[in-house]
Amino acid sequence: MQSFRTELENPVVAKEIIELERKIRAYREGTMVEDKFKSLRLARGIYGQRQPGVQMVRIKLPFGKATFKQLLRIADISDEYAIRNLHFTTRQDIQIHFVSLDRTPELWAKLAEDDITIREACGNTVRNVTASPQAGIDPDEPFDVSPYAHATFSYFLRNPICQELGRKFKFGFSSSTRDTAFAFGQDLGFIPKVRTVDGVEERGFRVILGGGLGAQPMAGHLVHEFLHEDLLIPYSEAVLRVFDRYGERNNRNKARFKYLIQKFGLDEIKRLIEEEQVASKVKIFKIDRNAVPQPEPPQAMPIEEEAVSDQLAYEVWEKTNVWEQKQTGFYAIYIKVPTGDMPTKDARVLLDGIRGHVADEVRITQNQGLMLKFARKESLPHIYKVLKEIGFAKPGFDSVADVTTCPGTDTCNLGISNSTEMARVLESLIYDEYEDLVFDRDLKIKISGCMNSCGQHGIANIGIHGSSLKAAGKVIPSAQIMLGGGVLGDGLGRVAERVVKVPSKRVVSAVRLLLDDYAENGLPGERFHDYYERQTKDYFYRMLKPLADLTNLVEEEYVDWGHQETYQQAIGVGECAGVVIDLVSVLLFEAEEKLTWANESYQAAAYADAIYHAYSMYISTAKALLLDKGVHSSTQIAIIRDFDTHFVESGEFLVPGGFAGQVLEINKQEPSEEFARQYLAGAIDFYQSTVAKRSAPTEVNS
């Protein structure tokens, strides 16, 4: 691996990139253990693929916003380092695949030249902050949530309170009560609200806490009808501090905020959040409402009227993929991107062809498409022709014909069956047999390659996730059918229920049965999740049960979608949730690093950061000593209490007032310079005592 140096303007980014290069070298040389290195690279957006020796790199684009220049930069990166493809995700990121690990620092440096980061795109961190793509142009919005999403992204990026969470944490901002960013399915979801107090208009948010998808999707809980905009960041910080301290660390399946609410109860969680706000870095945080200005609309110019070859197809596309903005005379254009994949050559043709016809901004949508802004009516035929030229003029954006899917077994370690080809087949079914459904944006089909819901199947009207079944001594690819999920609005939603599991090749028949039954028996205007609730789960189970019969399998059902060979289940170790590091030596090395960061933050007068780094050092050091005794604590609060039990009460460590009393001063004091100095001094003493204790010779009885 060749060394390089970057002259990036941001010295913090430059330092991080050089550090990544150094850590890769240490890993290659065998001086850094694999678990520690895995944790580090995941927090830099570098994710191991199903295929050995290559990486997926996730590029973090806050609320899916990119300029043309940035999108072209990412296309260039994909051409040079990956496979000339852009994969748009349900969290509004872009992923590129088949990247060499050794080239990732260089790749990151080139992205940073256009203010693009991969930092904290994976791992146990705050993931990409999402928002409704139509934010800022939505006729139904009380105000543009983009600056608030941007402030959340900026505040928590590199923030010490969320660098080593028990697992990932997700924010989402919807532009209106239609909840197009799925606030109910986020760890923290926000719906914008406006109220008038003493004649003064105030902005705020309806706050939904503890939602999540994954293998056990759950809808979040309403915790604030109106949280003032100035309290958005302080409240969010307190929530993250609670998650960091009390969240599960050993069992990844229970390491999400939704399970913390299950464990403690909502009232206790709200009390803990309130308690943590004492120690928050800020008590009020003024959001810069102008931080995300609207892009300049294209200049009005004479446009020669263009004829389209198929007028009917154009009219259907315009009705389903074009949307009138709140800015008079302008239109948003939605681009349906099948399976979320766009070759870089097509991205270049698209941007070149639409330049001057739309604003210089692209938004990635939650269903893996793209949205363009500020098109004039007279430009629509031209934009349609550009899209048709590259094969992206399909109608039915966000309709039944727009199936959301994760990459599945194409690249993901956790994939059980092929979700992308299944999505293509189902989209063809809609276009061929149910063409009127391209106008139906209330009914959604979503697919994931496994139970973890990266394809959002857990909140779909018709959700499908990859699985397997055994029949006649063989394993066959199968699909778990889930029904009845959906958005209710204003932060409320329904989670889909598991109904039946069928061989994958029978999914087409299952969907056909469901659509036909809904068309025949649904009431006028009745949405699918209401229809599901009225008919009951048992009704649909009985409908689909014949498809689960494994006594009549044919040969092709032993072969997964998109494959020729007989199916063999091969699930790797997933990395999307990060790793738990339990090596004593690694923990003590981390403790030393954290103490260095604490000192650096203190010298820079970043007192709240210094305190939190020192707190993290306490946790790493105590965990290391507990592991030396064979004590495995599953949360930070358990580590603190177990250390008192096994070390302080036994007299092995002398800690006046107890370890918990010393460490938990963090949430009882304002983060002042004086408290930072005292807390850091105590942390240094504790670490030095630990080092001295481990270095002392052990007595041997003769």
CATH number of domain containing 425: 3.30.413.10
Q: Residue 663: exposed, middle, or buried by beta-carbon count in 10 A (0-12, 13-18, 19+)?
A: buried
142 or 18, greater pLDDT: 142
Q: What percent of the chain has pLDDT over 90?
A: 75
The rounded distance, in Å, linking the Cα atoms of 485 and 465 is 14
Residue 212 lies in a domain: yes
DSSP state string for 586-624: HHHHHHHHHHHHHHHHHHTT-HHHHHHHHHHHHHHHHHH
Tokens of 513: 């049965």
CA distances to 315, 376, 377 from 311, rounded to whole Å, are 6, 19, 16
Write out pLDDT tens, residues 137-162.
Answer: 999 999 999 999 999 999 999 999 99
Residues 419 and 449 in one domain: yes
Residues 408 and 371 in one domain: no
Write out pLDDT tens, residues 512-536.
Answer: 999 999 999 999 999 999 999 999 9
Write out pLDDT tens, residues 172-206.
Answer: 999 999 999 999 999 999 999 999 999 999 999 99
Q: What is the pLDDT of residue 663?
A: 96
Tokens of 277: 């706000």
Final residue of a structural domain among 512, 541, 558: 558
Write out pLDDT tens, residues 318-361.
Answer: 999 999 999 999 999 999 999 999 999 999 999 999 999 999 99
We report the CATH number of the domain holding residue 637 as 1.20.120.330
Instruction: Domain of residue 55: give its range.
Output: 11-65+85-112
676 or 49, greater pLDDT: 676
State yes or no: pLDDT of 579 exceeds 70: no
Pairing of strands 322-324, 171-173: unpaired
Residue 435 lies in a domain: yes
Residues 180 and 236 in one domain: yes
Question: 3-state class of 268 per DSSP?
Answer: helix
Residues 665 and 521 in one domain: no
Residues 417 and 516 in one domain: yes
Averaged pLDDT for residues 257-284? 95
Residue 479 lies in a domain: yes
What residue ranges in 472-589 does DSSP mark as E strands?
474-483, 486-489, 492-494, 497-503
Residues 152 and 268 in one domain: yes
Q: What is the pLDDT of residue 51?
A: 86
Q: Residue 381: exposed, middle, or buried by beta-carbon count in 10 A (0-12, 13-18, 19+)?
A: middle
Indicate the number of domains in the chain: 5
Residues 553 and 591 in one domain: no
DSSP state string for 348-385: HHHHHHHBTTB-S-EEE-TTS-EEEEEE-GGGHHHHHH
Residues 60 and 141 in one domain: no
Question: Among 4-13, 262-271, 676-685, which stretch is predicted with the lowest mean pLDDT?
Answer: 4-13
Residues 409 and 539 in one domain: yes
We report the CATH number of the domain holding residue 346 as 3.30.70.3340
DSSP lists the bridge partners of residue 56 as 47
Mean pLDDT, the chain, rounded, equals 91
State yes or no: pLDDT of 508 exceeds 90: yes
Residue 285 lies in a domain: no
659 confidence band (pLDDT: 50, 70, 90): very high
Q: Of the candidates 248, 235, 245, which has an alpha carbon nearest to the alpha carbon of residue 274?
A: 235
Residue 207 lies in a domain: yes
Averaged pLDDT for residues 378-399? 96
Residue 514 lies in a domain: yes
Final residue of a structural domain among 358, 390, 422: 390
265 confidence band (pLDDT: 50, 70, 90): very high
Question: Among 9-23, 378-392, 640-654, which stretch is predicted with the lowest mean pLDDT?
Answer: 9-23
Question: 3-state class of 628 per DSSP?
Answer: helix
State yes or no: pLDDT of 9 exceeds 70: no
State yes or no: pLDDT of 370 exceeds 50: yes
Final residue of a structural domain among 356, 390, 424: 390
Q: What is the pTM of this model?
A: 0.92
CB within 8 Å of 180: residues ≥ 6 apart: 132, 133, 134, 174, 366, 487
575 confidence band (pLDDT: 50, 70, 90): low
Sheet of strand 55-59: strand arrangement: 46-48, 55-59, 94-99, 85-88, 341-343
Residues 410 and 482 in one domain: yes
The rounded distance, in Å, linking the Cα atoms of 350 and 347 is 5
Residues 532 and 600 in one domain: no
Q: H or E element: which one contains 74?
A: helix 68-81
Q: Of the candidates 371, 382, 387, which has an alpha carbon nearest to the alpha carbon of residue 295?
A: 371
Residue 304 lies in a domain: no
Averaged pLDDT for residues 160-167? 93
Averaged pLDDT for residues 300-311? 81
What single-letter DSSP state applies at residue 444?
-
Residue 31 lies in a domain: yes
- Please name the amino acid found at residue 196: T
Residues 344 and 386 in one domain: yes
State yes or no: pLDDT of 602 exceeds 90: yes
Q: HSE-up of 329 (CA within 13 Å, CB side)?
A: 5
